[in-house]
Chain A
C-alpha cells in the first residue's frame, strides 16, 4: 500500500481538527453538523474523486468548474424551457460531458500537448458555452427537484443524510474500488509512474488518457447535477474556481501532483478538511470568510512539504545502494 502514510496523516489531521473544533464548540460534534458537512460538500467530493484519477495519472483537469457551471445551466434550460423530462436531461448532459472529456483526452494524447493548457482551453470553452446558453440564473421548479431535496435518511441525533450526500458517498466508494481493485485503476497508477514504462508494459496509453479525462468530466457532470439539486437553479457563473478547491482537496488528501501515488479516500478526507475549516469559521462568527483561503493555503503548504519529505525519504536507500555499487 504505497499511498497509505499520507492518507493516514490526512486522516489524523481531520480527526484532530474535528476534535479541536468540538472542544471549542461542542455543538459541532453532532450528526446534524456532520450531515450538513456532507451535503454542502457533495458536489466537491464527486468532482474531486474524478480529479484524483486525473492527477494520479500525471495530468490535471482545469475544466471541471466550468463543466459544473455548464451542466447546471443546461439542465435548468432543458427542464424548464425545452420541456425535457429531468431524467432525459440528465442522460443528455452526462453523455455530453463525457464526450467533452473524451475529446480533451484525445487532444492531449494525439497532439502530445500539456494537459494544463488543453484543459484550460476546455475551461474557457465550457464556461463560454454556458454564458451563451444563458447569463441569467434559471430557477428549476420540476417536482423531481423538491422530492430529491426533501429526501433524507434520518440519522440518530437529528442529523439528515440527504440524497446528494448519499450520491457523493456512493461515488467516493465506487471510485475508491475502481482505483484500487480494477485493471483500469492499476493502469492509472502506471501512467502516473511513467508514461513510457506504462506503454512498454502494454498499457494502451491513448485509450487510457481518453478514458481518464472522460471519467473526470463525467463526474463533473454528475457534480453539476448535484449542484443544481443543491441550489434548485442553473447559473452560468456557478462553481467558478472550484477546480482550485478540488486540486487543493486532492493534494491535501495525499495524492502526489506529479502522479503515481494517491487515493480516493484521501481526497475524500481532504474535502472534509476544507469543509471543516468552513464550518469552524461559520461557528466562530467573528472570523471572516477569507481565513478559509489562508487556512487552505497553509494546509496545502504543510502537506506538500510533508510529501516532499516523504518522497526524499523513499529515495534515500536507492541512492545509498547506487553508491555502494560504484
Chain B
C-alpha cells in the first residue's frame, strides 16, 4: 500500500507496453522526440497532452469509485468551468479566472457530495441530475454560443510549456503528486478505502464516512473544473455542447482499467492515470494507423470487455484457486 506502484499494476503496465509496441509498428516514428522552442514534440508527448483531461478526471473519479460511488457529472462540470473560464478570460486576471472556474467545480462537487452523503441518494442517480442539468447551465453561461478568448495567460495554460513539457501535462503530474501525497501520506486513503469497503462497519469503527464521501465528490468536482479549464484553454474557447462530452465514461473506464473495482475499496491513483494513458495511446494509435477514427469505439468496447472479464469475480476466483494451489505446492 505504501508503494505507489503495487504489484497488481503489472497487467496495466504490460498492456501499455503492448499498445505502445503496436503503435510503434503502425507508426515507425512513434517514439521520436524533438526539442523545438524549448518544448518537446512527438507522438508520445501528444499522447500525454491529449490524455490530460481524462487523466485529471480519473484522479477524482478513482477516489469517488473507491467509496463505492460514481460521478456521471464530470463531463458537464468540465463544460461549466470551461464556459466560466472562457467568459471571464479576456476581462479578468488568470487568478480570478482560475478561482472562478475551480470554484464552480468545487460547488458542483459539493452539490453531488451533499446529495450522496447527506440525503443518502444513490450516487448514480444523484450525479445524473447534474449530468443532465449541467450542460444546460453551461449553455446558459455561454448563452448558447461558442465563447472564444485570446487572453495569453489562459492560452499558455493550454498550449505553453514548462521545462519542455506541455503545461497541461505538468499540471496533471502536479495534481497526481498532490492527490497522492494527501491521500497516501495520511490515513485519508485508508479511510476512503474503508468507507468503500463497508460504509456501515467503518462508521461504527469511528470513520467519518459522510465527511469522506463529501470530500471525494468535492475533489472530483475540482479535478473536473481543472480539466474543463485546460480543455477550454487548449482550443481557446468554450463549447458548452461538446466540451467534455462522454468524458465521464472515459474517466470511469480509465479507473476500471486501472484495476479499481466499481464496488469500492482498494484504489490506485497511479494506475487510474495509467488507465487514462492506455485509452489515449489506443486513440492516438488508431489515428496514426490511418484507420478511420470510427474504429476507436469498437476497439474501446473490446478493451472494456477484456478488462471486465479479467476482473470478473468468477474468473478471478479461478485465478485465485490456481495461485493458491501453486503456493501450497511451493
- Residues of chain A within 8 A of B315, CB atoms compared: 111
> Is there a chain A Cβ closer than 8 Å to B70's Cβ?
yes
- Residues of chain B within 8 A of A114, CB atoms compared: 262-263
A contact residues vs B (CB 8 Å cutoff): 60, 107, 110-114, 116-118, 120-125, 127-129, 131-132, 135, 244, 247-248, 251, 257-258, 288-294, 296-298, 300-301, 304-305, 308
Contact: B249 with A120, CB < 8 Å?
yes
Q: Can you report 26 residue pairs joining A to B where beta carbons are below 8 Å apart? A: A111-B313, A114-B262, A116-B124, A116-B262, A117-B252, A117-B256, A121-B308, A123-B249, A124-B297, A124-B304, A125-B298, A128-B294, A135-B292, A248-B128, A288-B143, A288-B144, A289-B144, A290-B135, A290-B240, A291-B136, A293-B135, A297-B136, A304-B129, A305-B119, A308-B119, A308-B120
Contact: B314 with A111, CB < 8 Å?
yes
Contact: A120 with B252, CB < 8 Å?
yes
- Residues of chain A within 8 A of B120, CB atoms compared: 308
**1/0 contact string of B249-269 vs chain A (CB within 8 Å):** 100110010000011000000
Which 9 A-B residue pairings sit nearest by Cβ, starting from the closest? A297-B133, A293-B136, A128-B297, A131-B294, A128-B298, A290-B139, A124-B301, A125-B301, A111-B312
Give the complex CA separation of A258 and B121 in angstroms. Answer: 10
| A195 smallest CB distance to B (angstroms) | 14
- Residues of chain A within 8 A of B296, CB atoms compared: 128
| B103 smallest CB distance to A (angstroms) | 20
- Residues of chain A within 8 A of B134, CB atoms compared: 297
CB < 8 Å: which of A124, A292, A294, A304 contacts B121? A304
> Is there a chain A Cβ closer than 8 Å to B122's Cβ?
yes
| B217 smallest CB distance to A (angstroms) | 16
Contact: A290 with B294, CB < 8 Å?
no
| B244 smallest CB distance to A (angstroms) | 13
Interface Cβ pair total, 8 Å cutoff: 120
- Residues of chain A within 8 A of B299, CB atoms compared: 128
Give the complex CA separation of A122 and B305 in angstroms. Answer: 9
| A292 smallest CB distance to B (angstroms) | 7
CB < 8 Å: which of B132, B252, B304, B312 contacts A244? B132
> Is there a chain A Cβ closer than 8 Å to B137's Cβ?
yes
CB < 8 Å: which of A121, A129, A244, A290 contacts B136? A290
- Residues of chain B within 8 A of A305, CB atoms compared: 119
- Assuming A110-B314, A132-B294, A300-B128, what are 13 further A-B pairs, CB within 8 angstroms? A111-B308, A113-B308, A124-B297, A244-B131, A257-B124, A290-B240, A293-B139, A294-B133, A294-B136, A296-B133, A297-B133, A298-B133, A308-B121
- Residues of chain A within 8 A of B243, CB atoms compared: none
- Residues of chain B within 8 A of A118, CB atoms compared: 308
Contact: B297 with A292, CB < 8 Å?
no
